[in-house]
């Protein structure tokens, strides 16, 4: 695993050296935190040591296409450039690049499925149990880290609208992950991040999120800004809905 990490740092260094600004550094840091979160979730799930290593490797490689995407398009928005999950699979397959990260071919299908599907709204039905486990694990870790970035205000949103659009807010109130295709305004991106909670697959991940308290921190960050009364009310409503949802999930499994 240490070798895979080194390989990743070597690969991304060439992009760092292109002088594309801090975007590349942010994605490297995100990737390393996601890798650690994958390890943490895998440990809490009491997976085997081989599976814990595989979880870390999946976390390390999930966003491998972000660097090429940014180099080509100077954006991380897939809809304006390229699907970074699909591009990641291509990058890893080209010249058998994946072998630099794992000598063992037996993990390829899991790794490639994780990379391809981690950014999709739904996972396909035909995944094996193992593929599904690791896809969900990485998706959970990815979401926890994005919520962390919102909580520490690393993601700043221009307030282009006074409140969440009705359609988006209704989906949130139904305790659903917001579908990106109905996103209308920049403020709606905040709603999307809150909706991540409803898509967390494992209670172990939910526990981490609750312990870290990112949702409350994120809501507070925005409430401290000069936001409209309506958005404040929407955020408070969401705070309660999310608290109840988390509590219910915790009770369901124990």
Residues that bind Fe ion (CB under 5 A): 63, 119
Quote the least distance from Cβ 66 to Fe ion, whole Å.
7
Least gap, CB of 116 to Fe ion (angstroms): 11
The smaller minimum CB distance to Fe ion, of residues 63 and 218, is found at 63
Least distance (Å) between residue 174 CB and Fe ion: 25
> Shortest CA distance to 222 belongs to which of 165, 150, 169, 145?
150
Asked if 193 contacts 235 with a C-beta cutoff of 8 angstroms, the reply is no
User: What Cα–Cα distance (Å) separates residue 34 from each residue in 26, 135, 169?
Assistant: 12, 13, 28
Which residue number, 148 or 164, has a Cβ lying nearer to Fe ion? 148
Instruction: State the nearest-atom distance from the C-beta of 119 to Fe ion, in Å.
Output: 5
How many other CB atoms are found less than 10 A from the CB of residue 152?
12
- The DSSP line for 225-241 is S---HHHHHHHHHHHHH
Smaller CB distance to Fe ion: residue 82 or 227? Answer: 82
Alpha-carbon distance of 167 to 159, in angstroms, equals 18
Q: How far apart are CA 53 and CA 229, in angstroms?
A: 47
CA angle 176, 117, 14 (to 5 degrees): 125
Start-to-end Cα distance in the chain: 33
Nearer to Fe ion, 63 or 207 (CB): 63
Contact 171, 224 (CB under 8 A): no
CB 85 to Fe ion: min, Å: 7
Among residues 163 and 195, whose Cβ is nearest to Fe ion? Answer: 195
Closer to Fe ion by CB, 121 or 247: give it: 121
Q: Which residue is nearest to Fe ion (CB)?
A: 63
């Amino acid at each position: 695993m240490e070798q895979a990490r080194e390989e990743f740092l070597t690969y991304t260094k060439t992009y760092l050296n292109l002088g594309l600004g801090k975007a590349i550094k942010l994605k490297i840091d995100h990737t390393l935190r996601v890798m650690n979160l994958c390890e943490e979730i895998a440990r809490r799930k009491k997976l085997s040591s081989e599976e814990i290593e595989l979880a870390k490797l999946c976390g390390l490689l999930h966003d491998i296409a972000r660097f090429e995407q940014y180099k080509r398009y100077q954006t991380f928005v897939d809809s304006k450039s390229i699907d970074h999950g699909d591009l990641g699979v291509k990058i890893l397959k080209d010249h058998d690049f994946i072998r630099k990260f794992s000598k063992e071919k037996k993990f390829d299908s899991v790794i490639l499925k994780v990379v391809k599907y981690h950014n999709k709204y739904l996972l396909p039905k035909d995944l094996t149990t193992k593929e599904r486990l690791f896809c969900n694990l990485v998706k959970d870790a990815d979401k926890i880290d994005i919520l962390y970035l919102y909580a520490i205000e690393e993601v700043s949103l221009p307030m282009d609208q006074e409140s969440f659009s009705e359609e988006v807010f209704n989906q949130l109130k139904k305790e659903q992950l917001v579908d990106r295709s109905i996103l209308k305004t920049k403020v709606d991106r905040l709603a999307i991040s809150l909706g991540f909670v409803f898509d967390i697959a494992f209670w172990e991940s939910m526990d981490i999120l609750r312990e870290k308290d990112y949702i409350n921190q994120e809501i507070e960050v925005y409430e401290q800004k000069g936001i409209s009364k309506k958005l404040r009310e929407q955020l408070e409503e969401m705070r309660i809905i999310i608290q109840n949802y988390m509590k219910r999930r915790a009770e369901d499994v124990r």
